[in-house]
Amino acid sequence: MPVLLPSSATAEAHAMVSVSSSIARPSSLRLLPLPAPRFPPVASKCFFHCAASGTTTRVCELKIWMLEKLKWRKNFRTHGWEKKPRMLQVQDSVEETTSNSEVAESSPPNVQTIIPKYLESSIESSSSSAYGNSVDRAPSLCIAVVGATGELARNKIFPALFALYYSGFLPEENMFLAYYGVLLSLLFCHSETLVFWLPSKTLLALMVGLNVGIFGYSRKDLSDEDLRNIVAATLTCRVDHHENCGDKLDAFLDRTYHINGGFNNKDGMKKLNRRMEQIEGEHEANRIFYLSVPQEALLDVSVSLADNSQTKRGWNRIIIEKPFGFDALSSYKLTQCFLSKFQEKQLYRIDHRLGKDLIENITVLRFSNLVFEPLWSRTYIKNVQVIFSEECGMEAQGRYFGHYGVIRDIVHSHILQTIALFAMEPPVSLDGEDIRNEKVKVLRSIRELNLDDVVLGQYKNSADKSSCYMNSLTPTFFAAALYIDNARWDGVPFLVKTGVGLIKHRQIIAVLLLDQVEIRIQFHHVPGNLYRERICHNIDLTTNELILRDQPDEAILLKVNNKVPGLGLQLDASELNLLYRDKYNVEVPDSYEHLLLDVIDGDNHLFMRSDELEAAWNILTPILDKIEENTVVPELYEIGGRGPVGAYYLGANHGVRWADD
């Protein structure tokens, strides 16, 4: 049966025919015709879709060559010419690795091994790469989630990693390895015996084909399959990511492994290191460790990790969940312990709320729009309000009444980091260190808080109409007036209000916010306003405002005054709005996806540096000390309200009308 060849394979096919016809056969042997293959013609069925240019043609050529070898080897075996397969060693030229005596016994004379020229160089590259030599391969990436069976890992971290994998942000297999791995599997499918052998180095390179590995580390006795079942229960494809979702999900789970660390983290981290090395081979390798563990276990885990699980053939990055200590002293001790084992550039202190698009929009809106940058100072801005409300769920109750409180959980990182990004001077560049240098200047310039500038609250337990503060004084509401003592913001109050179960303002029906944050910039009144008499009696209602709103109704709003259509001259305050759901027909990625991608890329501008951490604690520790001394008693408030009444008077004392009043 004729075999159709691509044009680029013609020369090599002629070479195979000429060599094959020159093979000497015993005189007593009659040449038998080869049986027809049990599979379709090669050229018409070579449908492989790869990214490399000319891949389809090369796959066809290689497959044709392999099948020709298969026919001759099968003929040799039928007549007893060859008892053992011969190993091939690919060097500058193709040679047989067996001794002369072995060749004489096991193979017919004058038999030569034929390998297409493009395959010679590829196999040589693969063979050398298995032992760490120079090769054009992207570094592998291993991501370990320590505390893999916890709620955070199951509901947030693993889904975020899968979303990144699906979207192509995690390393894929090496093109060469995946390319020839498919071909080897093809031979296995179409022949009872594999008759084409590669050297052991090449086989090792073919087997080490994964460029990414996801590792779950816990104390539970689970198999890889057990962890995959746990993870699979929380993985879904986003609305705009449904193509090949099942295939991608299976591929992701195949790269997920479990490590039983037991109760000795030193031994557990050694096991993790050995398992990672199996994925990495001898190539360049990078590692990320996500420490999703309780505060009391953080030091033991981090020290064991530093001593036993870091790679020496790439970078290591450590993700640490908040809270970063409980006060200035405990945070300092924790930081010193980390810096004794890691470099500052390795540490990524994560607050998932900083991964919201709103946070990135603060700097984009200011530094990329000429209309706003000149206004960003005390000359034009009267006050800034940062309003945050979290859903009143069991998770929030567990954090707040577990002695963390709203100050440690939200204010210390999320609120202060938001203010720092908003108020910082223009950085030298968008490099993470340049941005963090400017943020820490803002934090160090914030005036020390007094009790008169702070309102603490605690919501009532609606289940039995009794107050939770009978058993705990941990606040669930925090409001404060902050001042930044520098030339740009001198005298401008930054009012903060954050808590659990606050009402969503500007709605007729009370709706509880679901982790929503809003930043309102109120500008000064127009000096000598010509239209003052045409404005309603309360001039504050016509103040220009720039509003940045986060999920679930992402928007940028600009409040301006305009003329009402019709006869006469009547002014009205209206909003120019950019609603994300109307403008952009895409699903907004989860904040964990954003921040994990930043860690992979080495972008650390949304992660707190040690000096930022210290400056933030210096602002809040005096208030925390007063709470610990029972000097301050939180004011009670109802779920679905605007918080304690004291917050209203706080705004009035600083000449600010809250946006939700």
Residues taking part in catalysis: 414
User: Do 36 and 3 contact (CB within 8 A), yes or no?
Assistant: no
Dihedral sign computed on CA atoms, order 142, 147, 148, 154: negative
Residue 99 pairs in a beta bridge with none
Say which residues have a Cβ less than 8 Å from residue 573's Cβ, sequence separation at least 6.
Answer: 541, 542, 559, 560, 561, 562
Closest alpha carbon to 342 in 306, 308, 313, 315:
306
Look up residue 8 and give its two tokens: 């680029």
User: Do 71 and 196 contact (CB within 8 A), yes or no?
Assistant: no
Closest alpha carbon to 72 in 39, 42, 111:
111
Q: CA end-to-end span of the chain, whole Å?
A: 86
φ and ψ at 286, to 5 degrees?
-120, 150
Gap between the Cα atoms of 305 and 259, Å rounded: 13
Closest alpha carbon to 138 in 56, 54, 210, 53:
210
What secondary structure does DSSP assign to 76-94, as a single string?
HHHTTS-SSPPPEEESSSE
Q: Where are the alpha helices (DSSP H) in 506-644?
A: 580-583, 591-601, 610-628
Gap between the Cα atoms of 12 and 437, Å rounded: 62
User: Do 439 and 419 contact (CB within 8 A), yes or no?
Assistant: no
DSSP state of 407: I
Helices (H) and strands (E) in the chain, counts: 22, 18
Say which residues have a Cβ less than 8 Å from residue 23's Cβ, sequence separation at least 6.
Answer: 72, 108, 109, 110, 111
Could you give the C-alpha distances from 498 to 348, 406, 491, 493, in angstroms and in order? 25, 8, 22, 16
Gap between the Cα atoms of 298 and 338, Å rounded: 10
**Token pair 């039983």 in the structure block, residue:** 260
- Following CA atoms 317, 322, 327, 328 in sequence, which dihedral angle do they give, to the nearest 10 degrees? 30
Closest alpha carbon to 200 in 137, 138, 278, 131:
131
User: Do 16 and 168 contact (CB within 8 A), yes or no?
Assistant: no
The β-bridge relationship of strands 555-563 and 571-579 is antiparallel
Give the type of residue at 357: D
User: Do 620 and 453 contact (CB within 8 A), yes or no?
Assistant: no
**Token pair 């004084």 in the structure block, residue:** 473
Look up residue 593 and give its two tokens: 């996806």
Gap between the Cα atoms of 89 and 97, Å rounded: 6
Q: What does the buried/exposed string (b/e) look like for 130-162 if buried means 16 or more CB atoms within 10 Å of the residue's CB?
A: beeeebebeebbbbbbbbbbbebbbebbbbbbb
